[in-house]
Amino acid sequence: MIRAHKIRLHPTSEQANSLACAAGVARFVWNWALAEWNRQYEAGEKPTALKLKKQFNAIRREHFPWTWEVIKNASDQPFLDLGKAFTAFFEGKARRPKFKSKKRSRPSFYLANDQFEIGDHRLWVPKLGWVNMAEKLRFQGKVLGARITRTADWWFVSIQVELPEEIPVEKAAAVGIDVGLNRLATLSTGEQVENQAFLKTALKKLRQANKRLHRRKPGSRNREKARRQVARLHYQIVCLRQDVLQKLTTRLADSYGIIGVENLHLKGLLKNRHLARAFSDASLGTLVRLLEAKVPQRGGQVIKVDRFFPSSKTCHGCGWTWDQMTLKDRIFVCQNPSCPYFQFPQDRDHNAGHNVLREALRLIGLIDQAVSGTGSDEDGNWAVDVG
């Protein structure tokens, strides 16, 4: 199992300039290799990453002598990254590689495991020396590599470590999750996680900072200061959102063995011009992605329920469907006289969470066992055999 630990760096001003130069060289080599790949491909040749690397090294001292002044891996790794990118493109797994812009792309470069050394709260980088880290490496294992990136004028290092496979502890509890905009997540247990809407909260400051940026003269120092302020605001919003999502998904993965979620069509939802910003702010796709990454590591499984399953319109007690239900109806009232919840007001999302859990258990063949066995307790937890 490979895990990565992202740590903030505290370089000196000279070290920060060297890191920026290394990232610039990596971007230049990527663009050169991509242009040469396209030229050779159009000429009917079959370019590869290794051929391009040998071709670049042959003319490097004469045409690009300044690339020797930075870290060696900064100019070597882009060829391998480009080869992987084209492999994924030809297999239909990704888009065609594009040129990297100095203004729009994130500065970064890669270090192989023999190109750096990790100490206590510090990182040794060739030609830079020891660079201070905000914290020490959290994982103990074989270090595979590291990638140094810059976000909002702050430098970070992401260190990949190979860890031994852990034997997960199976958990019998199951839960269904209904995600949305009014509430980020509503569990079948009745727990509600509010949508913090960090972007909406900081939108006024962000607009003021953007206005200040566009009023500054291009190329001036004041414009650079304004650009950094906008970048810091965006980074703060991302950090707040990630903090909530990481803590929530970790707690759910540690508590439940089976988690049912809706398989939302997020690209289609983002096409709604009235709700696109709200859906992006909630980051529902990241929530599901984190669950899919963390739950299997802890011995559980994530079951995706079909997006067309009427979880909100169906009564979880009897299966009666409210066909005329709209988004404004936040309270679900069953009209089936034989239902134990007949005319009993239920929270719409809580009812949907029960239905998502029921459908997830049915998809994996545990619904009959769960219903005829212990079923759910008074808190809404289902006890099932996950073995």
**73 CA to centre of own chain:** 26
Query: Residue 364's CB: how many other CB atoms inside 10 A?
Result: 14
In this predicted structure, what is the pLDDT of residue 272? Answer: 86
For the annotated catalytic residues, the residue numbers are: 178, 262, 349
Segment (H or E) for 29:
helix 13-42
DSSP percent split of the chain into helix, strand, coil, nearest 5: 45, 20, 35
In this predicted structure, what is the pLDDT of residue 245? Answer: 95
Per the CB < 8 A criterion, the answer to whether 20 and 109 are in contact is no
Tokens 């880290």 -> residue: 133
In this predicted structure, what is the pLDDT of residue 342? Answer: 82
In this predicted structure, what is the pLDDT of residue 266? Answer: 83
In this predicted structure, what is the pLDDT of residue 11? Answer: 95
Per the CB < 8 A criterion, the answer to whether 37 and 45 are in contact is no
The model's pLDDT over 253-291, given as tens digits with 9 standing for 90+, comes to 998 989 999 888 888 888 888 889 998 999 999 999 999
Per the CB < 8 A criterion, the answer to whether 383 and 172 are in contact is yes
Q: Which residues contact 305 (CB under 8 A, 6 or more apart)?
A: 260, 261, 262, 263, 311, 356, 359, 360, 363
- Residue 12 to residue 369: CA distance in whole angstroms: 62
In this predicted structure, what is the pLDDT of residue 16? Answer: 94
In this predicted structure, what is the pLDDT of residue 322? Answer: 84
**182 CA to centre of own chain:** 22
Per-position pLDDT tens, the chain of length 387 = 888 999 999 999 999 999 999 999 999 999 999 999 999 999 999 999 999 999 999 999 889 988 888 887 788 999 999 999 999 999 998 999 999 998 888 999 999 999 899 998 999 998 889 999 999 999 999 999 999 999 988 999 999 999 887 776 777 688 999 998 888 999 988 899 999 999 999 999 999 999 999 999 998 999 999 999 999 999 999 999 999 999 999 999 998 989 999 888 888 888 888 889 998 999 999 999 999 999 988 888 999 998 888 888 888 888 888 888 887 888 888 888 888 878 888 888 888 888 899 888 888 887 654 443 334 444 445 444 443
* Distance in Å from the first CA to the final CA of the chain: 22
